[in-house]
Amino acid sequence: MYSNLLKGLWPYIKPHKKKAFASLFFALVLAGLKWAQAALVKPVFDKGLSANGSIQEVIVIAGLLVLIMILNFPARFLHFYWIRYIVDKATCEMRTNIYAKIQKLPIWHFQQRKQGILVSTLVNDTITFSYGFRAAMDLIREPLYAIVLLGLAIYRDWQLTLVILVTAPLFILIFNKSGKSVKKNQGTVQEELGNLTHNISEGLSGQKVAKAFNLQDYLLKRFEETQNKYFNYMMKTTWTEEMAHPLVEFVGGLAFAGVLVFAQYRIRSGALTTGDFVSFVTAMALIMDPIRKLSAANIKLAQAEAAEKRIASIFAQEEEIDEGSLSQINFSDKIEINNLSFSYGEGNILKNLSLEIKKGQKVALVGLSGSGKSTLINILLGLYKTKPGTIKIDGVDINDIRLKTLRGLFGLVSQDIFLFHDTVRENLTLGKNVEEEKIEDALQVAYASDFLEKLYHKWDTVIGERGVRLSGGQQQRITIARAFLQNTPILLFDEATSSLDNESERMVQKALDRLSREKTVFAVAHRLSTISDFDMIYVLNRGQVVEQGTHHQLMAHKNEYFKLYGLGQKMEETVNV
Ligand SMILES: Nc1ncnc2c1ncn2[C@@H]1O[C@H](COP(=O)(O)OP(=O)(O)O)[C@@H](O)[C@H]1O
Ligand SMILES: [Mg+2]
């Protein structure tokens, strides 16, 4: 019934085989002890509590009871402790695997799908899965209990047991129906939970806008709508779940009532002692617990199977294509882009684009917003594939270079500033061992030493999302220091100063200039005054190179570049007024 789930589980149990078997062994011991407990009830009633019982007999029975509890202690502890160890360890391993898989997904994945769905799978589905995992363990232990207790019941009175067994098909029917119903709904429940997670993260990251536009009520409404949807689907599962439990108990009660009537007849006929009967009833009462647990496990497993389906769908996603085999390249000549066209799906974003970046040169790409500049940077970084057209580095097609190697050639400084919530030092070294002087140099180059000196913990100050507030320009200068430390042969700038105010922009530009010394630079520039000394400038218009040359040549042409330049000047004037 849950073969997919069990198949998914096995690789996670395998490394803990020993613990799993030991835990299983203790389950057998526990089942034996359950049996002994229920069996002991007979002598308790027939000997211990009867008028003609002797004190020795009572002491033996009491001693046995204590012995059972002494054995129960380690058996129960180790059985449950190890199960939870395996389950939680496996869940962590699975979460790591999902996280690692997400790292390998191509970039478009993150632009097309809601991030919250991935987060929800990583957090919620793995938890649901772990509950199912634990339930799968119940599925081994509880039937063991049920079997030994049933064995005892048969031994005490097989005819009475038969009365009980008549109801067994009813239990199976309930399990089957409720499991199916939960399975049908649970996928939607988890999907809605994913939407809810996404909604929450949107609401948190958009707080500034939310406040500025007085969107609190709107956000709340959106949140409630999503949550209500989630709630409604969840209630369907809950209905089944909560219906199944009392139904199971009801059938159990019916069986018990039947037994009682029949037992009276058996005791009168002398076939059964009171001790036999009480022991039988104890076995029956104890059997209710495994049945209840099985009913719950059945539901948890159905939920886990839906979770496992969603987890499996992430694992089924195609990974970033990395077919290149070249793992070593020393950039020594040039990058050639030849007749490159590109489309995200509809309409060509780049059209027959050709350009060249020679080692040591500073090359700029300019053009109106939406003309495809960032797209070209993305393709250079191997985030999207070249087709048709080629990009060659030192004559080697970039598709033949391993992604890691290709990306190792470039240092990117873009308008999206990303810093970890961690110390300045960690943000610069990214987990590597770097000498203090090198860090110092990098911060000097990036004009970041001054403001860091003023911070209380200097380089060990925590920055990033919830750390010390740094201005956009300061943050950008830290990413520049980071790029300096990475010391890649080619630098890519993508409008690195575009989100900054004039003052910060000047500092960041200075830092970029220092970083660029003796490097090959390919810069997407929005402020044309910053590239007047570049070796080559390409003007992009709707994905096509429409002009190329140095600043002076292009200005002399009085064409596209000249117009763009004029536009920029005007904007600067309005800003400065
Ligand atoms: N991930 C994407 N999926 C689909 N279209 C995109 C994507 N990224 C950018 N575009 C589109 O491609 C065009 C070029 O975008 P972009 O390269 O960012 O321009 P630029 O950097 O020059 O402003 C724009 O029309 C934009 O809407
Ligand atoms: Mg852009």
Question: Any long-range contacts for 529-536 (C-beta under 8 Å, 24+ apart)?
Answer: 529/568, 530/497, 531/362, 531/364, 531/366, 533/362, 534/362, 534/363, 534/364, 535/358, 535/361, 535/362, 535/363, 536/356, 536/361, 536/362, 536/363, 536/364
Instruction: Answer yes or no: do 471 and 496 share one domain.
Output: no
Quote the CA–CA distance of 27 and 72 in Å, as a whole number: 11
Instruction: Answer yes or no: is 255 within a domain.
Output: yes
Instruction: Answer yes or no: do 118 and 257 share one domain.
Output: yes
Instruction: Answer yes or no: do 310 and 434 share one domain.
Output: no
Quote the CA–CA distance of 256 and 278 in Å, as a whole number: 13
Instruction: Answer yes or no: is 541 within a domain.
Output: yes
Ligand 1 centre distance from Cα of residue 372 (Å): 6
User: What residue's CA is closest to ligand 1, atom 16?
Assistant: 372
Q: Which of 284, 315, 346 is the last residue of a domain?
A: 315
Taking the CA of 372 as reference, the closest ligand is 1
Ligand 2 centre distance from Cα of residue 370 (Å): 7
Quote the CA–CA distance of 551 and 537 in Å, as a whole number: 7
Q: What is the pTM of this model?
A: 0.81
Mutate to test the pocket of ligand 1, among 350, 374, 499 (most ligand atoms within 8 A of CB): 374
Q: Is the pLDDT of residue 114 over 80?
A: no
Integer Rg of the chain from CA: 35
Please calculate the CA angle 144-149-153 and round it to the nearest 5 degrees. Answer: 150
Instruction: Answer yes or no: is 205 within a domain.
Output: no
Instruction: Answer yes or no: is 262 within a domain.
Output: yes
pLDDT, tens digit (0-9, with 9 covering 90-100), for 14-27? 888 899 899 989 99
Q: Is the pLDDT of residue 188 over 50?
A: yes
Q: Which of 266, 295, 315 is the last residue of a domain?
A: 315
Q: Is the pLDDT of residue 577 over 60?
A: no
Q: What is the mean pLDDT of residues 235-255?
A: 86
Task: Give the CATH number, domain containing residue 566.
Answer: 3.40.50.300
Quote the CA–CA distance of 542 and 348 in Å, as a whole number: 9
pLDDT, tens digit (0-9, with 9 covering 90-100), for 306-339? 888 888 888 998 998 888 888 888 898 899 999 9
Percent over 90 (pLDDT), the chain: 21
User: What residue's CA is closest to ligand 1, atom 25?
Assistant: 370
Ligand 1, atom nearest to 344 Cα: 4
35 phi, psi to nearest 5 deg:
-60, -45
Instruction: Answer yes or no: do 480 and 399 share one domain.
Output: no
User: What residue's CA is closest to ligand 1, atom 10?
Assistant: 344
pLDDT, tens digit (0-9, with 9 covering 90-100), for 148-168? 888 888 888 888 888 878 888
Domain that holds residue 473: 419-487
Do the beta carbons of residue 30 and residue 111 sit within 8 Å?
no
pLDDT, tens digit (0-9, with 9 covering 90-100), for 383-394? 998 778 889 999
Question: Any long-range contacts for 110-116 (C-beta under 8 Å, 24+ apart)?
Answer: 114/194, 114/195, 114/198, 115/198, 115/201, 116/194, 116/195, 116/196, 116/197, 116/198, 116/199, 116/200, 116/201, 116/202
Ligand 2 centre distance from Cα of residue 331 (Å): 25
Structurally, the chain folds into a number of domains equal to 3
Residue 1 has what pLDDT? 58
Question: What string of DSSP letters covers 63-116?
Answer: HHHHHHHHHHHHHHHHHHHHHHHHHHHHHHHHHHHHHHHHHHS-THHHHHS-HH
Reported as a pLDDT band with limits 50, 70 and 90, residue 78 is very high
Would you say how long the chain is, in residues? Answer: 577
Quote the CA–CA distance of 338 and 535 in Å, as a whole number: 19
Ligand 2 centre distance from Cα of residue 154 (Å): 78
Which residues have any ligand 1 atom within 6 Å of their CB?
111, 344, 349, 367, 369-375
Instruction: Answer yes or no: is 496 within a domain.
Output: yes
Average pLDDT across the chain, whole number: 85
Q: Which of 268, 292, 315 is the last residue of a domain?
A: 315
Quote the CA–CA distance of 305 and 307 in Å, as a whole number: 5
